[in-house]
Structure 1
Amino acid sequence: MQAQLVFYADNELLEGPIFDYDNGLLYFVSIFDGLVYCYDPATRVILNVKLDSPVSNIYLKDRKKVVVASKDGFYLVDFNTLEVTFSFQIEIEEDMRFNDGIEDANGRLLIGTMGYPEVLPNRGKVFSFYKGKYKTIIENTTISNGLAFSKDNTLLYFIDTPSKKVARYSYDLVNGDIKFEEYVIEFKEKGSPDGMCMDSHGNLWIAEWGGACVSRWNPSSGKKLQVLELPCPNVTSCTFDNKGGMYVTTAKSDNPNNNLCGGLFYFDNKNFQ
């Protein structure tokens, strides 16, 4: 089955797709443009709001209301009114920016960092923000990327892209503490793991930067189970919708003939049965 192109606006780096199951809406970002998008699949209407610095991750709050991580802080974006309001800040160095993140089942916001405008080895961290306070839970990362929780919220999977591995941590939902257990997946081919999500069977779907695909992995065995190819080498992240399909974000490549790269794609549910 081929991926369907849903949206293309010549963006350099689309990222951070997240689906609001209660309201049937998809959100994603264009990092370097500072753009936050809200897409309604039922009407095919796309709204966008522009922030003043690179954006990376979205947390759902209410109907058409999200919190967005930007280099300058975290902002509440209201797509009902297209208004933007400052929410809170996690202090990071000037040569760093936020990247992928996730919300746990208790409303704790997790988010990683990476060097900006240049990648800085081992300078990244993963923070946890809860009730106005934040703490560091992972250190010495380079490009903090995909985060996913097990269905019972006792395990956290995490990708530091240059390691080409997926790490597993035990996770305490009460206090937000984590403990490294082991690396459960290793990428040995040209693709490097970027963003990821978990399916209903507990398998991880991982976007492959440089691999032109999303791949499905069993985190217990470390085995690759399935590959869905895309017409773009740099695949950045993925999320399931309320119909069992998957939205996938991509980035530009060095090949000028790859004229769909930087678009948003969709695989319908026939790919996952």
Structure 2
Amino acid sequence: MKAQLVFYADNELLEGPIFDSSNNLLYFVSIFDGLVYCYEAETKEILSVRLDSPVSNVYLKDYKKIIAVSKNGFYQVDFNILQATFAFQIKIDENMRFNDGIEDAQGRFLIGTMGYPEVLSNRGKVFSYYHGKYKTIIENTTISNGLAFSKDNSLLYFIDTPSKKVARYSYDIASGNVKFESYVIDFKEDGSPDGMCMDNNGNLWIAEWGGGCVSLWDPTSGKKLRMLKLPCPNVTSCTFDNKGGMFVTTAKSDTQDNNLGGGLFYFENNNF
């Protein structure tokens, strides 16, 4: 199955794709440009709003309205009028920034951190924000990346990229607390796990930084089931649309095979 290039604007690092199935809209970010994008799948229209610091991910709110997470704070972004308004902040050290995030079934914002501008070992955290209050739920991470919930919301899967593993935590939806259970997936080849999403079968699709693919894993057995190749080595994250297709974000690299790195790609639903 061949990846289709949807969008390319010479960005260094695209990330955080999330699909609004109610409105057929894809959101994603260009981290170091501070750009948040809104892509309308049917018309192919793409809109952008720029924030004043690196931006990592978004949370859905309403039609063309999101919360976007930047180093300098969480912003309400309205693509109807192309404006951003400061909403709140989670206090982090100056040498840290936010990275991947996810919203739980109760409306909590989970968000991880990493060192910036340099990666700092074991200095990252994963926070949970809800109704104006936040707490730390995971500590001592290096590059907090992919987050995904099981279908019944009882399990949280989490990636700290340098570990090259996927961790499983029990998740209490009532309190938002987590408890580490085990590592369920171990990457032994060149690619390192980055962003991820879960399919309807409860399996995890994981973007491989340095691996040039999105790979499919069974989190129960830890086995790799298949992969979808991309024309660039650094693959950052993935999400499904309402047709069963998959959008994939990528980043540039220093290798000679960096064909269209930093582009947004799409795989049509072909029972993959």
Q: TM-score range by the shorter chain?
A: over 0.9
Distance 2:254 2:179 in 1: 39
Distance 2:227 2:206 in 1: 10
Partner-residue secondary structure (3-state), 1:162? helix
Q: Deviations over 1:140-175 (max 9, x none)?
A: 000000000000000000000000000000000011
Q: Report the equivalent of 2:41.
A: 41
Matches within 5 A, 1:23-102: 23-102=23-102
> Which runs of 5 or more structure 2 residues have no equivalent in the other structure?
none
Superposed displacement of residue 257, structure 1: 5.3
Partner-residue secondary structure (3-state), 1:270? coil
Matches within 5 A, 1:198-237: 198-237=198-237
Distance 2:236 2:257 in 1: 19
Superposed displacement of residue 271, structure 1: 4.8
Q: Kindly indicate whether residue 108 of structure 2 is the aligned counterpart of residue 108 of structure 1.
A: yes
CA change 1:226–1:257 in 2 (3 A) is closer
Q: Report the equivalent of 2:184.
A: 184
Distance 1:211 1:190 in 2: 6
Give the AA of the match of 2:139: E
Superposed displacement of residue 258, structure 1: 2.3
Distance 2:267 2:229 in 1: 10
Give the AA of the match of 2:137: I
CA contact (8 A) 2:217 2:223 kept: yes
Give the AA of the match of 2:31: I
Q: Kindly indicate whether residue 163 of structure 2 is the aligned counterpart of residue 168 of structure 1.
A: no
Distance 1:24 1:80 in 2: 15
Distance 2:51 2:109 in 1: 20
Superposed displacement of residue 83, structure 1: 1.1
Give the AA of the match of 1:14: L
Superposed displacement of residue 255, structure 1: 2.5
CA contact (8 A) 2:233 2:257 kept: no
Partner-residue secondary structure (3-state), 1:215? strand
Q: Deviations over 1:171-192 (max 9, x none)?
A: 0001100000000000000000
Superposed displacement of residue 108, structure 1: 0.3
Partner-residue secondary structure (3-state), 1:269? coil
Partner-residue secondary structure (3-state), 2:270? helix
Aligned residues: 272
Q: Report the equivalent of 1:15.
A: 15
Distance 1:81 1:176 in 2: 34
Distance 2:88 2:183 in 1: 33
Q: Deviations over 1:71-125 (max 9, x none)?
A: 0000000000111111110000000000000000000000000000000000000
TM-score by length of 2: 0.99
Superposed displacement of residue 259, structure 1: 3.6
Q: Deviations over 1:36-71 (max 9, x none)?
A: 000001000000000000000100000000000000
CA change 1:65–1:238 in 2 (3 A) is same
Q: Report the equivalent of 2:193.
A: 193
CA contact (8 A) 2:232 2:257 kept: no
After the TM superposition, which parts of structure 1 deviate over 2 Å for at least 4 consecutive aligned residues?
Answer: 255-259
Distance 2:256 2:35 in 1: 23
Matches within 5 A, 1:139-150: 139-150=139-150
CA contact (8 A) 2:231 2:259 kept: no
Q: Deviations over 1:194-226 (max 9, x none)?
A: 000000000000000000000000000000001
CA contact (8 A) 2:58 2:69 kept: yes
RMSD, aligned α-carbons = 0.7
CA contact (8 A) 2:159 2:166 kept: yes
Distance 2:175 2:271 in 1: 38
